[in-house]
Structure 1
Amino acid sequence: MSRSTRQEPTGQDESFSPEPTDKILTVPNVISMFRLVSIPVIAVLVVQNHLFAGLVLLAVSAMSDGVDGYIARRYNQVTKLGQILDPIADRLLIFFSILALASIGIMPWWVLAAVVLRELVLGIQVLRLASYGYGPLPVHFVGKAGTAVLMITVPVYIVSALGESTLFTVLHDLGDAGAIWGCVLYWVAGIIYLWQGTHVIHDEKAAGTRAGAAR
């Protein structure tokens, strides 16, 4: 198993991606950078109660996630930088959107706590893997599903705050349901990553033990 490109476990949807290159200035990377830059702007707009403007920018930013992935695979522009930027942008977009909505009372704080705790746990695993020369684990489809549900939930909450009729109350309830399912999927993916990481580290230790015994 290569330390730099690590063999991808079965059941993941990245297996048909082109081999990543060292290029930096590509269209997908520029789109990912736009998503990163848009994150603090979205958060400020939401906190200052410019909900509609924040919703529009959030929708554009969220849609760009699928666009950059399609361009990268379709036109062979998958890069090592992009594989780092894309998940970071997704996680930061979710984190700051939830933080902004929770700070003005639109989204419950437990959603932010669930997301932050999961990232802290996986952050520790990333550090452990790095100590063995491995990068982050490939994105699992369950993780993508959880991210997608949370990204959909954020604008649902924003729209629910634009009015006070029964429709907006129903939308808020749908937001609560989406937040629950999104967090569940997010944590299921986290458990999968922990299981995979544990096996990677176990195999690495076993290989080291065998190499030491052979000397």
Structure 2
Amino acid sequence: MSSTDDRGGRAGAVLNVPNVLSSLRLVGVPLFLWAILTDQDVLAVIVLMASGVTDYLDGKIARHFGLVTTLGQYLDPMADRLYIASTLFGLAWREIIPWWLVLAIVARDLFVLSLYPVVRSYDLPVPPVHFIGKAATFNLLCGFPLILLGQFDTWLGAAVLPVGWAFAWWGTGLYALGAALYAWQVGVMVAQRRRQWQAVGA
């Protein structure tokens, strides 16, 4: 009876509101790509804005109600990265943003990924996401919808375009700073682990 309850409890913990919101964000990625590549800009903006709202809500709900799960810790950043990647590709394909900006952000992510084998080789936990990284993601996910909205030939488009680019540049700068901070965290953890191994060996 207790094992059944445990399984039910684990299933309930996984199928909570934050994880459902993160899953819905993932489902929206191909819809957004289709919309932006076929010039369905209104739909693309709506999907992006919905992604930003649900990104805020799933984290807020998870922390407030103690619903943080291992699955959620993977789903949330995965959805963020996929939206950033798909938005970059779509906007660059439409020649709304330069390709070098895409390469700069992709290079940052590849650099962070290259540190994972180091973390695993020293049997270290993955460093937690820092506030700077969260702020960078927030800025990018705010900036891209505004840049896309800025393509509309209206007074609203003209008003939000510079705001969107401001968010995008801040986000890109913080994204790079976050990568440097992550590398520093990994370096500190590796140095500590080496000292532990040396102490055991002595």
Consecutive unaligned residues in structure 1, runs of 5 or more: 1-20
Query: Greater CA deviation, 130-139 or 54-63?
Result: 130-139
Question: Matched residues in 1 for 2:72 and 2:168: separation?
Answer: 27
Tell whether 2:37 aligns with 1:51.
no
Per-residue deviation, 1:134 = 2.9
Match of 2:174? 185
Matches within 5 A, 1:3-22: none
Tell whether 2:84 aligns with 1:108.
no
Question: Matched residues in 2 for 1:176 and 1:78: separation?
Answer: 33
Secondary structure at the aligned position of 2:14 is classed as coil
Consecutive unaligned residues in structure 2, runs of 5 or more: 1-9
Give the one of 32, 44, 54 matched to 1:42. 32
Question: Matched residues in 2 for 1:169 and 1:60: separation?
Answer: 22
Aligned 8 A contact 1:29 1:81 in 2: yes
Aligned 8 A contact 2:124 2:189 in 1: no
Question: Matched residues in 2 for 1:172 and 1:108: separation?
Answer: 15
Match of 1:63? 53
Aligned 8 A contact 2:150 2:161 in 1: yes
Secondary structure at the aligned position of 1:87 is classed as helix
Match of 1:140? 130
Residues 64-120 of structure 1: per-residue CA shift (max 9 Å, x gap): 011111221222211011111111211211111111111111122222112101100
Tell whether 2:72 aligns with 1:82.
yes
Amino acid paired to 2:197: G
Per-residue deviation, 1:42 = 0.6
Question: Matched residues in 1 for 2:172 and 2:200: separation?
Answer: 42
Question: Matched residues in 1 for 2:183 and 2:20: separation?
Answer: 31
Residues 168-213 of structure 1: per-residue CA shift (max 9 Å, x gap): 4554344333322211011111111110111111111121121112
Question: Matched residues in 2 for 1:70 and 1:168: separation?
Answer: 30
Match of 1:16? none
Structure with more helix by fraction: 2
Identity of aligned residues (%): 34
TM-score (norm. length: structure 1): 0.82
Tell whether 2:129 aligns with 1:129.
no
Q: State the structure with bigger RCO (CA 8 A, min sep 6), 1 or 2.
A: 1
Residues 139-158 of structure 1: per-residue CA shift (max 9 Å, x gap): 11111111111111111111
Give the one of 184, 187, 207 matched to 2:196. 207
Question: Matched residues in 2 for 1:43 and 1:187: separation?
Answer: 25
After superposition, the Cα gap between the structure-2 partners of 1:122 and 1:179, relative to the gap in structure 1 and judged at 3 Å, is: same
Tell whether 2:192 aligns with 1:198.
no
Amino acid paired to 1:184: G
Residues 14-69 of structure 1: per-residue CA shift (max 9 Å, x gap): xxxxxxx8942222111111111111211110111000011111111110011111
- Provide runs of 4+ in structure 1 moved above 6 Å: none
Per-residue deviation, 1:122 = 0.4
Aligned 8 A contact 1:71 1:77 in 2: yes
Tell whether 2:17 aligns with 1:27.
yes
Amino acid paired to 1:37: V
